[in-house]
């Protein structure tokens, strides 16, 4: 049984009879033509009607109590809850229902109708509060828009392809390149352009993946990458452009 459709038909039936826009026979035939049972009120905490009672008799008693119209309050994660506050014992029952029907006495919310299995309707008491439509300036609408924005951001993050190796640049041997020269191990050395202040040197052996630095100028054995034993130079000599 689709409780949302049943709640919608119940709301339309209540409004048509409260406003006298349809005769009673057409109201009941709307349920029967759709192969649905006419709702039966089996519990009433507000109007004190004798239960079980039929839908048409209940609508007459609700109109005598001052009920003017009914409102369908859909429950969905993307929509704010617009049901009035209820007692703690009925809070879970109202929150789990997909489409409660709120009975109004003008702008004031007077009761909540929950339709269940076999078209049984339960009337629950609620706190008498004034209903205000949800607008952009309300906190409920702002919370709904924030929730939608977060969902769109998560969907955007899921579409980004992240490399399995963490995005690091690796050479043909699968080893990390130097952080300074960003060259892969085994690549050709960069061009060396010495300045006038560069001291003469006869040995030019060094790291082939970083910069050709004389062996005599190696400061220590601290590695600057996985393919050499040099660390980033600390002197003022310029070996690379």
Per-residue pLDDT tens digits for 13-60: 999 999 999 899 999 898 988 888 899 999 988 888 888 899 999 999
Residue 127 sits in the same domain as residue 217: no
The answer as to whether 221 is a domain residue is yes
The answer as to whether 148 is a domain residue is no
Residue 223 sits in the same domain as residue 123: no
State which residues form the domain around 194: 170-241
**Which candidate, 166, 31, 7, 30, places its Cα nearest to that of 99?**
7
The answer as to whether 146 is a domain residue is no
Residue 175 sits in the same domain as residue 113: no
The H or E element that residue 115 is part of is strand 108-115
Task: Report the number of distinct structural domains present in the chain.
Answer: 2
pTM of the model: 0.55
Residue 128 sits in the same domain as residue 240: no
Residue 176 sits in the same domain as residue 71: no
- Of 64-68, 96-100, 228-232, the poorest mean pLDDT is in 228-232
Residue 181 sits in the same domain as residue 126: no
- Of 1-5, 70-74, 91-95, the poorest mean pLDDT is in 1-5
Phi and psi at residue 125, to the nearest 5°: -80, 150
Residue 18 sits in the same domain as residue 94: yes
The answer as to whether 162 is a domain residue is no
Which string of b and e fits 183-201 if b means at least 16 CB within 10 Å?
bbbeeebbeeeeeeeeeee
Residue 122 sits in the same domain as residue 191: no
The answer as to whether 16 is a domain residue is yes
Could you give the C-alpha distances from 1 to 8, 37, 122, 167, 189, in angstroms and in order?
13, 11, 17, 52, 75
> How many helices and strands (H and E) does the chain possess?
5, 6
Helices 3-18 + 55-65 axis angle, to 10: 60
Residue 119 sits in the same domain as residue 183: no
Domain finish residue from 140, 155, 189: 140
pLDDT at site 103: 95
Helices 24-32 + 3-18 axis angle, to 10: 170
Residue 121 sits in the same domain as residue 176: no
Contact call for residues 234 and 214 (beta carbons, < 8 A): no
pLDDT digits (tens, 9 = 90+) for 54-72: 999 999 999 999 999 999 9
Residue 136 sits in the same domain as residue 32: yes
Domain finish residue from 140, 162, 180: 140
pLDDT at site 3: 87
Q: What is d(CA 183, CA 189) in angstroms, rounded to the nearest whole number?
A: 9
pLDDT at site 237: 43
Residue 183 sits in the same domain as residue 241: yes
Say if residue 175's pLDDT is above 70. no
The H or E element that residue 12 is part of is helix 3-18
């Amino acid at each position: 049984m689709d409780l949302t459709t049943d709640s919608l038909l119940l709301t339309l039936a209540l409004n048509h009879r409260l406003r006298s826009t349809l005769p009673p026979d057409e109201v009941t035939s709307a349920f029967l033509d759709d192969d649905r049972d006419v709702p039966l009120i089996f519990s009433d905490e507000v109007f004190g009607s004798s239960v079980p009672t039929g839908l048409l008799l209940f609508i007459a008693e609700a109109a005598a109590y001052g009920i003017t119209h009914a409102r369908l309050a859909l429950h969905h994660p993307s929509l704010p809850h617009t049901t009035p506050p209820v007692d703690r014992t009925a809070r879970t029952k109202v929150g789990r229902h997909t489409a409660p029907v709120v009975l109004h006495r003008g702008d004031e919310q007077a009761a909540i109708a929950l339709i269940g299995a076999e078209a049984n309707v339960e009337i629950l008491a609620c706190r008498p509060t004034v209903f205000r439509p949800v607008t952009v300036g309300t906190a409920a609408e702002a919370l709904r828009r924030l929730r939608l924005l977060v969902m769109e951001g998560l969907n955007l993050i899921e579409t980004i392809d992240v490399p399995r190796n963490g995005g690091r640049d690796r050479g043909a041997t699968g080893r990390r390149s130097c952080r300074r020269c960003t060259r892969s191990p085994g690549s050709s050395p960069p061009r060396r352009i010495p300045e006038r202040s560069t001291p003469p040197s006869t040995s030019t052996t060094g790291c082939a993946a970083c910069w050709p630095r004389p062996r005599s100028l190696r400061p220590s054995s601290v590695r600057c990458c996985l393919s050499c034993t040099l660390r980033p130079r600390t002197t003022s000599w310029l070996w690379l452009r």
